Amino acid sequence: NFRKWDIWQGIEFGQSKPQARRVKFSDVAGIDEAVEELQELVRYLKNPELFDKMGIKPPHGVLLEGPPGCGKTLVAKAIAGEAGVPFYQMAGSEFVEVLVGVGSARIRDLFKRAKVNKPSVVFIDEIDALATRRQGIFSESTNYLYNAATQERETTLNQLLIELDGFDTGKGVIFLGATNRMDLLDPALLRPGRFDRKIRIRPPGAKGRLDILKVHARKVRMSPSVDLSTYAQNLPGWTGAKLAQLTQEAALVAVRNGHESILQSDMDDAVDRLTVGPKRVGIELGHQGQCRRAVTEVGVAITSHLLRRYENAKVESCERISIIPRGQSLSQIVFHHLDEESYIFERKPQLLHRLQVLLGGRAAEEVIYGRDTSRASVKYLEDATCLARKILTIWNLENPMTIHGEPFPWKKKASFVGPRLDFEGSLYDDYGLIEPPINFELDDRVARRTEELLHDMYEKTITLLRNHFAALLKTVKVLLDNKEINGDQIEFIIDSYPAETPVNLVL
């Protein structure tokens, strides 16, 4: 049963599958450069004879490289869709069989079919599974199964190379491969005449994410009141696949809530579902627990708002806070992300402000409860400690305190058996250094400075929050009453309760 390729649209054998809507370039967003480059293939597929007449050689193969879920398969389908030609798809892993000869037979068959129905597009996903670097002489292993599998893979790969080389005879077939592990590919595959072109499919940036969201919003009933750009901005690292999942999830939530179309609240719920998990019913924090949670989250949020407002800090503002337990977490805070450039060139003042924001949770607890602090703010404290250490060491923004370039005594020692310590405290084995020596003196200095830095920033944050005690209390109160609060409400509260407002006005 090895003729199971996804024969898209059922062109094969004249099957009368219902015609699925063909993917077009308009379904692909956020990877404009790649699409631009691939347009040429479409032009070729539409009229291969013209290219022939003009003496233009089409590319043999195009390798799409990039992380999963960024649209490699989608864009390959779109090429076939735009040109109106059949699309043959298989995954590299499907060729890898232990049964001898099956993999190469599949390759032969796949290419034969594509040639018969040319012009056409052949797409092999995860091509790295099939075309990993061949091992050469060192793969000699006593393990029989290992050898059989490796040999089989190599035969399959050789067959693929033969097909690619003999491609001139099958003009009119475009061969596309996709991988996210370029480094694993056998160099033979990348030689000219095989994969002539490599196109990187990058994960989308903020603008790309917005374009992708717009594409997928067209496929569901999205209320026009939903501001897609905030989601694009606040979901860094989300791929096209994840964003597609988001709109689907939001549609489900909307149906569950009995809404006619997807509302902002449905989108928020969907984001939370995909990030932390669904709401947990039945789990109710006690009042005390909820208060602590609310105080720490509000402390972090309000510190960022105050710093932005009064110290012109370049830190994220708070988008919303929720103290409804979800998945593993008892409360959530969502930040409004800055534009991507601000992260690349973070400078010392910005990093210190960020540190203050993280310390805001514990500071708020102390301002409200005095020294009786709880575990609620521990996660933020851990993050703060980590950040402070980085500021001092990796980014080296304090005194010039070198941790890189320590003169490690890196010499190979005479051969012994097993790892051993040398006089400077380095760990060696027969092949060289395993661990550099520990510099206890430097370690102490970093620890001391980290503590000092944290302490200084903490004092500043405490002062800030004491000044705005009324706003802090009011925000906590609103959050406790509604279980949720958003950034605009926080801004409004800060406006209404300026610094030094007497607390009795709140209560």
Give the binding range for ligand ADP (CB under 6 A) out of 3-11, 27-35, 251-259, 377-385.
27-35
Could you give the CA distance from residue 71 to residue 203 in angstroms, rounded to a whole number?
Answer: 9
Phi, psi (degrees; rounded to nearest 5) at 67: -65, 160
Q: Is 215 in the site for ligand ADP (CB under 6 A)?
A: yes
Rounded least distance, CB 189 to ligand ADP, Å: 19
Give the binding range for ligand ADP (CB under 6 A) out of 25-33, 334-342, 349-357, 402-410.
25-33
Nearest residue to 179 (alpha-carbon basis) of 240, 132, 244: 132
Rounded least distance, CB 108 to ligand ADP, Å: 25
Name 98's Cβ contacts closer than 8 Å, sequence gap at least 6: 145, 148, 149, 152
Q: Is 30 in the site for ligand ADP (CB under 6 A)?
A: yes
Tell me the chain's radius of gyration from C-alpha atoms: 30
Q: Are 186 and 132 spatial neighbours (Cβ–Cβ below 8 Å)?
A: yes
Minimum CB distance to ligand ADP smaller for 127 or for 351:
127
Minimum CB distance to ligand ADP smaller for 85 or for 244:
244
Rounded least distance, CB 30 to ligand ADP, Å: 5
Minimum CB distance to ligand ADP smaller for 123 or for 497:
123
| β 61-65/173-179 pair status | parallel
Report the site for ligand ADP in 341-360 (rule: CB under 6 A). none
Rounded least distance, CB 34 to ligand ADP, Å: 9
Token pair 């789990």 in the structure block, residue:
283
297 is catalytic: yes
Nearest residue to 70 (alpha-carbon basis) of 183, 253, 205, 231: 205
Using CB under 6 A, count the residues that bind ligand ADP.
Answer: 17
Tally of CA atoms within 13 A in the half-sphere of 20 that contains its CB:
15
Q: Is 70 in the site for ligand ADP (CB under 6 A)?
A: yes
Q: Is 498 in the site for ligand ADP (CB under 6 A)?
A: no
Q: Is 267 in the site for ligand ADP (CB under 6 A)?
A: no
Minimum CB distance to ligand ADP smaller for 51 or for 175:
175
Token pair 């095989």 in the structure block, residue:
194
Containing 389, the helix (H) or strand (E) segment is helix 378-392
Q: Of all residues in this chain, which one has the CB nearest to ligand ADP in the complex?
A: 240
Question: Is it true that the peptide bond before 204 is cis, omega within 30 degrees of 0?
Answer: no
Q: Are 413 and 422 spatial neighbours (Cβ–Cβ below 8 Å)?
A: yes
Could you give the CA distance from residue 89 to residue 106 in angstroms, rounded to a whole number?
Answer: 12
Rounded least distance, CB 31 to ligand ADP, Å: 5
**Annotated active-site residue in 297, 316, 365, 366:** 297
Containing 454, the helix (H) or strand (E) segment is helix 440-467
Rounded least distance, CB 125 to ligand ADP, Å: 6
Q: Lay out the site mask for ligand ADP across 72-111 (x = CB under 6 A, - = otherwise).
A: xxx-------------------------------------
Q: Lay out the site mask for ligand ADP across 225-264 (x = CB under 6 A, - = otherwise).
A: ---------------xx--x--------------------
Rounded least distance, CB 76 to ligand ADP, Å: 8
Minimum CB distance to ligand ADP smaller for 25 or for 167:
25
Q: Is 391 in the site for ligand ADP (CB under 6 A)?
A: no
Q: Is 68 in the site for ligand ADP (CB under 6 A)?
A: yes
Minimum CB distance to ligand ADP smaller for 238 or for 469:
238
Minimum CB distance to ligand ADP smaller for 65 or for 365:
65
| β 332-336/317-322 pair status | antiparallel
Q: Are 456 and 448 spatial neighbours (Cβ–Cβ below 8 Å)?
A: no
Q: Is the dihedral of CA 379, 380, 381, 387 positive or negative?
A: positive
Q: Is 31 in the site for ligand ADP (CB under 6 A)?
A: yes
Q: Are 365 and 472 spatial neighbours (Cβ–Cβ below 8 Å)?
A: no
Minimum CB distance to ligand ADP smaller for 62 or for 330:
62
Could you give the CA distance from residue 368 to residue 292 in angstroms, rounded to a whole number?
Answer: 10
Which residues lie across from 62 on neighbouring strands?
A: 176, 197
Which residues lie across from 333 on neighbouring strands?
A: 321
Could you give the CA distance from residue 85 to residue 45 in angstroms, rounded to a whole number?
Answer: 8
Q: Which of 28, 189, 235, 384 binds ligand ADP (CB under 6 A)?
A: 28
Report the site for ligand ADP in 357-386 (rule: CB under 6 A). none
Q: Is 172 in the site for ligand ADP (CB under 6 A)?
A: no
**H helices within 15-143, ranges in order?**
32-46, 48-54, 72-83, 92-95, 102-116, 127-130
Could you give the CA distance from residue 30 to residue 47 in angstroms, rounded to a whole number?
Answer: 28
**H helices within 84-143, ranges in order?**
92-95, 102-116, 127-130
Give the binding range for ligand ADP (CB under 6 A) out of 24-32, 163-171, 342-350, 374-382.
24-32
Q: Lay out the site mask for ligand ADP across 111-150 (x = CB under 6 A, - = otherwise).
A: ----------------------------------------
> Which positions are annotated as active-site residues?
297
Residues near ligand ADP (CB under 6 A):
28-31, 68-74, 178, 212, 215, 240-241, 244
